[in-house]
Amino acid sequence: MDIWYKENIDLKTIAPVTLLLLLGIASVYSATYDAGASIFFNRQLIWAGSGFFLMIVIMLLPFRTLQFLSYPFYGISILLLIVVLFGGKMVAGSRSWFGIGGFGLQPSEIVKVTTVLALASYLSRGQVNLQRFKHLATALGFVLFPVALITLQPDIGTAIIYLGMLFIVLFWAGASNFLMITLLAPAAAAIATLFGTTAFFIVVILTLVVLFVLRENRLFSATIFSFTVLVGVSVQFIFDKLAPHQQNRITTFLNPDADPLGAGYNVIQSKIAIGSGGFFGKGFLQGSQTQLNFLPAQWTDFIYCVPAEEFGFIGAFAILLFLTLFLIRGVQIASIVKNRYASLVAIGIVATFATHTVINIGMSMGMMPVIGVPLPFLSYGGSNLMTNMIMAGLLLNMYANRKEY
């Protein structure tokens, strides 16, 4: 028993997950404190408890069965995603929820896992070669289909997570540098254009340099380069055609300081919360920003401010450190497993957690546009926490089966 335990349970994954869960529960308790524990806290506690149990169950599932069920899981979850578009509840302008009893289910969260599973399953097939257009298109299709459905809800934040995950998994799966630049350059050009002409030219020059270094087929290279420039120019063209208030929305999205009462308000208050926490913090339940509700719904997307204000740099750094350790451990697991499917699943999970983390903490500290995505293990929300625990369970499962081919 002792040996099995040592062999199969990865404490390097479980430890940061558990610590993050505890910090998350404390943060939700503080953020929603109302002369005692709130209904948010009680629910989060139930989800964390059952989520932990679910993580262990997933860890113990037979590995082959999991691989076998990847496509069926994907199919069912995509079906839910379609149904929610028609029968879902409207919450904060998005149709992304099912109401079941008092609880809500958000299919786009579950689909995060099933998409990783399906994509890994496809890419791990021996004959799949990303250099072939048909195979590449299929791989892209696995992700772009749910992205399209989620964009219809509309939930841009979640859609961005999927695209980040896709990109990282393709890289891990052995996509050539040339393929990566083909996918990355036009997207980078589009975003850079919105930041200004200088940014656009930097991207264009970088693309040119990379293409030159890669020394691929000249015709392909020229096509990709022209396409990149074209995307940048057309984005600028479309931007100029937009009404001033639409341009404004994009500008404040990229630079929240430009709108201190709208989108910028959250970022300003968030920075004040984090900064005023200082080194040691104001103390549990003593954060004035948190307790006076300067941030709307800070128990979800802006949860990072709560420990940062009340536990100061110590608390904020601890969360950053635990998340980093967890991600590094994920990459290690992806590297040591013998099975290609397991490796791709692990890297897909790492990619999903990493994009959430970067976007969420970057946003809270005013380094990123305000994109509503939760912080893994900390933000309030059942569907998201359960999905996170399932993904942690999958990592543990891959680790336990690391010697299987």
Partner 1 sequence: MAEFAESSTRKIVFYTAIGIVFFVFLARLIQLQVLYADVYGKKSEENSIRQIARTPIRGLMFDLNGTLIVDNGPAYSITITPAEFRMSGLTLLSNILRTDTQIIKEKFEKGIRYNRFTPTKIKRDIDFKTLSLIEENKDRLPGVDYQIESKRFYPTKSKATHLYGYTKEISDQQLLEMGNEYRPGDNIGATGLEAAYERYLRGQKGFELITVNALGQIMGDYNEGKNNIPVREGSDLFLSLDAKLQALAESLLSDKRGAVVALDPNNGGLLALVSKPDYDLTTFGTVTPLDAWKELNTDESKPLFNRATLTRYPPGSTFKMVLAAAALEEGVINQNWRVNCTGAFRFGNKVFSDLHIHGSTNVVEAIQKSCNVFFYQLMLKTGFERWTRYGREFGFGNPTGLDILEENPGLLPSEEYYDRIYGKGKWTQGYLISLGIGQGEVGVSPLQMAGYAAAIANRGYYHTPHAVLRIRDKESGKLQIVPTETRKLDISPWVWDVLQEGMYRCVNEIGGTGQASKVKSVSVCGKTGTAQNPHGKKDHAWFIGFAPRENPKIAICVLIENVGFGGAFAAPIAGLCIEQYIYGKLIRNVQQNVLTAAQSDQAQTQQREH
Q: Does 214 bind partner 1 (CB under 8 A)?
A: no
Single-letter code of the amino acid located at 252: T
Q: Does 171 bind partner 1 (CB under 8 A)?
A: yes
Binding residue (CB under 8 A) for partner 1 from 104, 164, 264, 362? 362
Single-letter code of the amino acid located at 27: S
Minimum distance, C-beta of residue 403 to partner 1, in the bound complex (Å)? 15
Minimum distance, C-beta of residue 357 to partner 1, in the bound complex (Å)? 8
Q: Does 85 bind partner 1 (CB under 8 A)?
A: no
| DSSP secondary structure letters along 256-299 | GGG-TTTHHHHHHHHHHHHHHTTTT-S-TT--HHHHTT-STTTT
Minimum distance, C-beta of residue 118 to partner 1, in the bound complex (Å)? 20
Tokens linked to 206? 């970088």
- Rounded CA-CA distance 256/251 in Å is 8
Q: Does 324 bind partner 1 (CB under 8 A)?
A: yes
Q: How many residues does the chain have?
A: 405
- Rounded CA-CA distance 334/340 in Å is 9
Taking CB under 8 A as the rule, which mask of x and - marks residues 21-40 in contact with partner 1?
-------------xx-----
Q: What are the φ and ψ backbone dihedral angles of 90, each rounded to 5 degrees?
A: -85, 115
Binding residue (CB under 8 A) for partner 1 from 67, 247, 255, 291? 291
Binding residue (CB under 8 A) for partner 1 from 132, 288, 403, 404? 288
Tokens linked to 350? 């790492």
Q: Does 274 bind partner 1 (CB under 8 A)?
A: yes
Single-letter code of the amino acid located at 317: F
Residues in 254-273 at the binding interface with partner 1, rule: CB under 8 A: 269, 271-273
Torsion region of 377: left, alpha or beta (phi above 0 gives left; psi -120 to 50 gives alpha): left
Which among 39-47, 85-93, 194-202, 312-320 is the span making contact with partner 1, rule CB under 8 A? 312-320
**Which of the 8 DSSP states describes residue 61?**
S
- Which residues contact partner 1 by CB under 8 A? 34-35, 171-174, 269, 271-279, 282, 286-289, 291-294, 296, 308, 312-313, 316-317, 320, 324, 327-328, 331, 335, 340, 343, 350, 354, 358, 361-362, 365, 367
